[in-house]
A = this chain, B = another copy of it.
Amino acid sequence: MISVIILGSGNVAKHMYTALGAQKSIEVVQCYNRKGILLNPEQDSKIITQDLNDLVKVDVYILAVSDDAIEEISSKLPFNDCLVVHTSGSVPLKTIKNNNRRGVFYPLQTFSKDKVVDFSKIPFCLEAEEEKDLVLLNKLASSLSEKIYQISSEQRNILHISAVFVNNFTNYLFSVGNDICEEHKVPFEILHPLIQETAKKITNINPDQAQTGPAIRNDITTIDRHLHILNNTQQKELYQTLTKAIQSKHGKKL
């Protein structure tokens, strides 16, 4: 049995509470957050505390708080030599105060408030200073997911940058596609299956091999027609920038 305390009340804290709480091999002993919020409507309110001094001794303290709060909360913990981990993609392990044993327990996924999360497919990126802590985090992560990676703070940074491209920027392109459809009263849902397939394709083949479209074909007629139809300057510039980027990448290779 691994005993755990979850600190924080955001999406990650909530989803992690629900997932860990469902495991027989894990006991979520307490939850801390400043406002005393329940992480789940069915949670026993007695295990919620708003006072860090109330925290009891457990195997792992999970700081599922915002990036900015990790340093401060870790420095206020009223105990030493316990395993304290954060769940952030971009904060270095060393941001946690060094009076405790430090680690990272980072589920690489985008969490929505009201959507049930299937942790079994979520990659966990683990880091710890001591071998025994890594073993424990591995055990904890294994109870939730099949995909566990030992990742250094530097590697995690790289994953985070890459995630900005494949998640945040990609979502922005979806929003541009949506805007174009809305402006011309075409249902954006017609593109949903294409979007799913685009995402699925790169799990089987390298994205460079999966590249299609007017840019890589250097189909100037189509590119010009598209630029002519786009009347929003920002959309037009983005179309040109990305078309050039694709051509410069694949041109070099040819």
Contact = CB atoms under 8 A, between A and B. Distances in A.
Contacts of A185: 155
Interface string A192-233: 111111111111111110111111100100100110011000
A178 B173 CA distance: 18
Interface in A94-143: 108-110, 112, 115, 121-123, 125
24 contacts: A125-B190, A149-B187, A149-B190, A158-B180, A158-B181, A158-B184, A161-B180, A161-B230, A162-B177, A164-B213, A167-B195, A168-B213, A168-B216, A170-B174, A171-B198, A171-B201, A171-B207, A175-B208, A175-B211, A178-B202, A196-B199, A198-B199, A199-B199, A237-B241
Contacts of A110: 194, 197-198, 201, 212
A181 B157 CA distance: 10
A25 interface: no
Contacts of A159: 181, 186, 190-191
Contact of A165 (B155, B173, B190): B173
Contact of A248 (B170, B177, B208, B234): B234
B175 A162 contact: no
B198 A242 contact: no
Interface centre among A171, A214, A249 (most CB of B within 10 A): A171
Contacts of A184: 154-155, 158
